Structure 1
Amino acid sequence: MSTLPVVVIGAGPVGLAAAAHLHERGLPFAVLEAGDGPAAAVRQWAHVRLFSPWRYTVDAASRRLLADAGWVEPSPERPPTGGELAADYLQPLADLPALKPHVRYGSRVVAVTRLGLDRLRTAGRDQVPFLVRLADGTDVLAQAVIDASGTWSAPNVLGASGIPAHGEAEAAAFVEPALPDVLGADRDRFAGKRTLVVGAGHSAANTLLVLADLATQVPGAEVIWAIRAATPVRTYGGETADALPARGAIGTRLREHVDAGRIRLITGFSARTLTVRPEGGVEVSDGVRAVVVDRIVAATGFRPDHGFVSELRLDLDPILGSTRALAPLIDPNQHSCGTVPPHGVDELAHPETGFYAIGMKSYGRAPTFLLATGYEQARSVVAALAGDWAAARDVQLDLPETGVCNSNPVVEAETGGTACCGTPSETGRGLAGGLLSTPLTLVSATPSATGEQSGGCCS
C-alpha cells in the first residue's frame, strides 16, 4: 500500500498544512476538496479579522515551502482577515508546484471505508487500503486518510436541547448563520431591524459588536443577546488580562455595550419555540419569556459530521465526539484555550489504523481549538505516517492563558472591524476553511462550556 497516496480531506489551513508536511516527508498524497478552490469555508467569512497576527497563522512546513518559492510573508504582527488569509497565504500555498498537482477541487467525499470490507470484518483489515468515494462516484484508494474537513458545514441548531426548537424549520427564513457580514453584503437585512443573537461565544460577540455599530448608523435598530448561562462573564473573558490584546478587547467592548444598554442581554434563556407572526417578525420563547424580532443570528456553534466515515472503526468520546483519548484534555468544562496540554498522534489515533481526524473536527463539539493546534496535529500525524515516531511524539504547544477562549470569529476592538479566533480550518467534508487560530494556543470557546459553541478555530 505504500505506493498509494495519503488522502487528505479538505484544503483548508490544516488540510494544506498536512499536505505541506507530507511533501516534506516524501510521502505520496492527494488532497480532496469539496469547494472550487482552497479555503472555501474561510472565504465565507472573508470580512472577519482574526485576532491572532500573521506570525501565528502560518504553518511551519508551509512557510518553508512558500519561502523557497520567494513568497514574502505579510507583516508578522498584523492580524489578517479571512479574505487576506485565503488570498495571501492559502491560495499561494495551494498553487505551489509541490502541492497543486495533488489538490483536486470539486471533490466532495461522501464515504470512507476499507476496500472490500465493512466495519464488521477484522481479519487482514490493516493490510487493506482505504476506499474513499466521491460524490460523482469516483473511488480513490489510499494507504491512510487524514480527515481535515472541519465542522463549518454542520452548525448547531437553535434549540437548546440539541435538536431543533419547535417551529425552527418554519422560521428558517428569519434565521441567519453565524458571522453574517452585517456591515457589508448583509447590511440591508439588519439595518433598522430588531435582531436577536443567540450564543455565548466569540462568533456571537463578533456579531453583537458590528450590530451595535450598525445601530449607531441606522436609526430604529435594536440588538438583543440571549444566552443560556446566568452571566456573560465567560464571554467577556480575560479582557485586559488576555494574552492576546485584540481578543481581550472584544470582551471589554461587549461589556461596555451591555452596561450602556445598547445591547439588551437576556440570561438563562433557551430557545424552545419559534413562531412566525402573521403581522411580521418571529417570536422566540423559552416557555416562560418571549421576544419578538425581525432577524435571528444562530451563533450556537458547530458539530462534527462522522456520517461519511461510519464504516470505519472509530473510538469516539460519547460526549464531545472527539477521540476518547483526547476528550479529557480538551473538555471545555475543565480547560480554557491556555490549559489544553500538548497532544498529537497518540491522542488522535482510532482503532482504525491509518485514519486520523485533525483540525477543528478532531475536537468534536469542544470549542477549545486553535489553528496552531491543528498545524501541530498535522505535523505529528504525518511524522507518524512516515515512521518517525520520535518526532511524532515530540509535541510542542505553547499556549498562553487567556482567561477565556472561544472558537469563533470576533470583532477587532481598535479598528471596529471583525476578528476571528481560529480556523475552522477545514470545513465540512473537504470544504476547506474555517475559522482560525493563534500560535500554539487552543482557542477554547467561551461558549463551549455552556454548550453554546461558537464554532471554529480561533486565531
Structure 2
Amino acid sequence: MTKQALESLPIAVIGGGPVGLAAAAHLVARGMPIKVYEAGDVVGANLRDWGHVRVFTPWRYCVDPAATKLLERQGWHLPEPDIFPTGGEIVTNYLEPLASTPELLGVIETGARVVAISRLGLDKVVSRGREEKPFVLSIKTATGSRRDLARAVIDASGTWTNPNPLGASGLSANGEAEFGDRIAYGIPDVVGRHRNIYAGRTTLVVGAGHSAANALLDLTRLAETELTTKAIWATRSTNLIRIYGGGDADQLPARGELGAETRELVESGRVPLVSGFAILGLREEGGRIIVEGETAEGPKTIGPVDRIIAATGQRPDLSMTRELRLDLDPWLESTKALGPLIDPNEHSCGSVPPHGHRELAHVEQGFYTVGIKSYGRAPTFLLLTGYEQVRSIAAALAGDLAAADNVELVLPETGVCTTTFSVEGSETAGCCGGPAPSSVDACCVADAVAKDEGKSGCGCGVAA
C-alpha cells in the first residue's frame, strides 16, 4: 500500500464513551478521517450501567473542549457548571447530543465490537515493513463479522466490562463462576431498578473503595423500609483510609461525608466488618452462600449470605491486542513509559504528572491506549487526564508535534489524596496509595464533589 493510500484510511477509535468521543472530536477538528466503534447498542453504554450514580465532578469538568465546540455549533449549552450530574445525565445531556452532531453522526457505529487488531498480512512476529501496513480490525456485529482497515488506532474501550474477581490472588475464587448469578460486579442500583434483588436479603459487599461504600449505604437505606435487609462488609485490606478518607479535611466534601457515613455504619454496629479477609472460595449451604477465606488469625468463613456485591475494580482486557507489539508495564499493564508516572504505590490521583502521546505510544507505531484503560490496573485515572491524552495524540497524528508535546494539565491534590492519619494504627498517604485497587474508586476519577440526598458516587471517567 502506498503512503498516500495508507494516510487516506480512517483513524479507528474504539469506544463511544467520554474519552472515545473526545478523541473523535479532536481528530475531526484537525480534518482527519475517523471511524468510531462502540460495542454497545448506544454511545455511553458503560456509563449507563451506573447511570443512577451521581459523580463527584461538576459539569464543567465532565466535558472536553473540542467536543464542546462541536456541540455549541448546534446550539447546545453546558448544563449548570457547578451542578453534579449522574452517569445517566452525562449520557443524555452530553454524549448523545455529541454523537448526533453532523461531524460525528455518520462516523459512529454502535453494536460493533472490535475483537482483534493486527497489521494487514503480518502477525506480531514479522518486523520488516510493519509501519507500511495498515491496521486490520476484526469487527463483530449482530449481523456477522467483517474486517476494516485503519491508518491508526486509539483504544478507548475502558475496563468496565472486565471486572476483577473476588479471589484475593487475582484469580477467581473457587466456586465464583458457579454462583455468578448471585454476584453483582460494579455498582448495582440497590434502591432503584435492582431493589427486589436485595430487599429482605443479606448481602456481602466486598471491596475497600467508594463503590463499596455506596453499596453499603444504599443497602442500609433499603433496610429502613425493608427491615429484614442486611449488609456485611469484607475487605482484603486492614487499613481503610481510602474509604474513610479525610473527613472535614477532604477538599471534596461529599466524598469526605461518604467516608464518615461508612465509618459510622461500622462503629455503630449496623454493618459488620471483616477486614484483612482474603477470599478463597464459595460454597452453598441450605440454598445460601458461605464465603471461605483467611485472615491473619487463620481460616474464616462469612455467611450465610444471599447475594454478593463485588466492588473489586476492573482490569484491562488485553486479548484484543494479542497480535500487536505492546510494551506494557509488568504489573500495572499500562504502557511501560506511563507505569512509573501512575504507580499507585507512589502516586495519588493528584500527583500524576501530565503526559501525552509519547508516554502512551507503543512499539506498534500508530496504536494508542487512552482513558482509564491506559492506566491498566492503577486506580489513579482522572477524566480530565483522558481529555488531554487524546488532544495530544490527535495533534501527533496530524503531524503537529509542537502541540502534541505541549502537555499541560493541572490535577488537584485533593484532601484525601494528601492527608495522612492513623487507621488501626497504620499511617498511609492518600486514597490512591493502596497497591491493589479494590473498586472503581471515586477518589481517583473525579476532582470535585457531588451531593444528592446523601448519595455520592464514582466520578466522571469511570467508564471512559
Q: Which position in structure 2 is the counterpart of 1:373?
A: 385
With CA pairs under 8 Å and 6+ residues apart, which has the higher RCO, 1 or 2? 1
Residues 377-416 of structure 1: pairs in structure 2 closer than 5 A: 377-402=389-414, 403=416, 404-405=431-432, 407-408=440-441, 415-416=453-454
| 1:422 maps to 2:463 | no
What displacement does 1:418 show?
Answer: 4.2
Taking the aligned partners of 2:462 and 2:319, their CA distance within structure 1 comes to 19
Matching residue of 1:246? 254
Q: How many Å apart are 1:319 and its aligned residue? A: 0.2
- 1:76-91 alignment runs, 5 A limit: 76-91=81-96
Deviations 1:172-197 (A, max 9, x none): 22211210000001111111211111
Instruction: Report the alpha carbon displacement of residue 241 of structure 1 after superposing the two structures with TM.
Output: 2.1
Residue 270 of structure 1 pairs with residue 278 of structure 2 = yes
Checking the alignment, whether the CA contact within 8 Å between 1:20 and 1:65 is kept in structure 2 is yes
Query: Counterparts of 2:302 and 2:463 in 1: how far apart (Å)?
Result: 35
Q: Equivalents in 2 of 1:50, 1:110: separation in Å?
A: 30
Question: How far apart, CA to CA, are the structure 2 residues paired with 1:89 and 1:290?
Answer: 46
Q: Aligned-pair distance for 1:106?
A: 1.2
Question: Which residue of 46, 61, 64 maps to 1:41?
Answer: 46
Structure 1 residue 323 displacement after superposition: 0.5
Question: Aligned-pair distance for 1:247?
Answer: 2.2
Specify which of 321, 327, 337 is matched with residue 315 of structure 1: 327
Distance 2:360 2:105 in 1: 27
1:116 to 115, 118, 121: 121
User: Once the 2 structures are TM-superposed, how far is the Cα of residue 164 of structure 1 from its aligned partner?
Assistant: 0.9
Q: Distance in 1 between matches of 2:131 and 2:165?
A: 38
Deviation at 1:409, TM superposition (A): 5.3
1:61 match: secondary structure: helix
User: 2:54 and 2:277 mapped to 1: Cα distance?
Assistant: 29
CA distance in 1, matches of 2:462, 2:323: 25
Aligned match of 1:284: 291
What SS does the aligned partner of 2:149 have?
strand
Asked if 1 retains the 8 angstrom alpha-carbon contact of 2:54 and 2:452, the reply is no
Task: Tell whether 2:172 aligns with 1:134.
Answer: no
Please give the secondary structure, in 1, of the residue aligned with 2:7. coil
Whole-Å Cα distance in 2 between the matches of residues 414 and 111 of structure 1?
A: 41
Which structure 1 segments of 5+ residues have no match?
427-459
Per-residue deviation, residues 103-161 of structure 1 (Å, max 9, x unmatched): 11111101110001110111111111111110132111111000000001111110011
* Alpha-carbon distance between aligned partners in 2 of 1:245 and 1:398, rounded to the nearest angstrom: 20
Question: Partner residue of 1:178?
Answer: 186
Question: How far 1:221 moved relative to its partner?
Answer: 2.1
Counterpart of 1:194? 202
Whether the aligned pair in 2 keeps the contact of 1:114 and 1:129 (CA below 8 Å) is: yes
Give the alignment's TM-score, normalised by structure 1: 0.90
Cα distance, 1:422 vs structure 2: 3.2
**Alignment partners' CA distance in 2, 1:407 and 1:345:** 25
In the alignment, structure 1 residue 95 sits paired with structure 2 residue 100: yes
- Counterparts of 1:422 and 1:319, CA distance in 2: 25
The corresponding residue for 1:28 is: 33
| Structure 1 contact 249–413 (Cα < 8 Å) conserved | no
1:453 aligns to what? none
Contact preservation (8 Å) 1:369, 1:422: no
Q: 1:285 to 1:177 in 2, by over 3 A?
A: same
Q: Indicate the SS of the match to 1:312.
A: coil
- Residues 250 and 413, structure 1, Cα contact 8 Å, conserved in 2: no
Q: Is the partner of 1:336 in helix, strand or coil?
A: coil
Please state how far the C-alpha of 1:248 moved relative to its aligned partner: 2.2
Q: 1:234 aligns with which of 211, 231, 242?
A: 242
Specify the alignment match of 2:423 in structure 1.
Answer: none
1:308-335 per-position Cα deviation (integer Å, ceiling 9, x unaligned): 1111100011101001111111111111
AA at the equivalent of 2:43: P
1:357: which partner in 2?
369
Please report how far the alpha carbon of residue 67 of structure 1 lies from its aligned counterpart in structure 2 after TM superposition: 1.2
Give yes or no for contact 2:186–2:440 (8 Å, CA) kept in 1: no
Post-superposition Cα deviations, 1:344-388, rounded to whole Å, max 9, x if no partner, equal 111101000000000011011111111111111111111111111
One-letter code aligned to 1:286: G
Q: Displaced runs of 4+ in structure 1, greater than 3 A?
A: 405-414
Distance 2:266 2:460 in 1: 25
Q: What one-letter code is carried by the residue in structure 1 that aligns with 2:284?
A: V
What CA distance in whole angstroms lies between the structure 2 residues aligned with 1:57 and 1:201?
21
Q: CA deviation at 1:424?
A: 2.9
Matched-pair identity in %: 54
Letter paired with 1:77: D
1:15-51 CA distance string (max 9 Å, x none): 0000000011111100011111110111111111111
Aligned position for 1:60: 65
Alpha-carbon separation, structure 2, partners of 1:244 and 1:98: 36
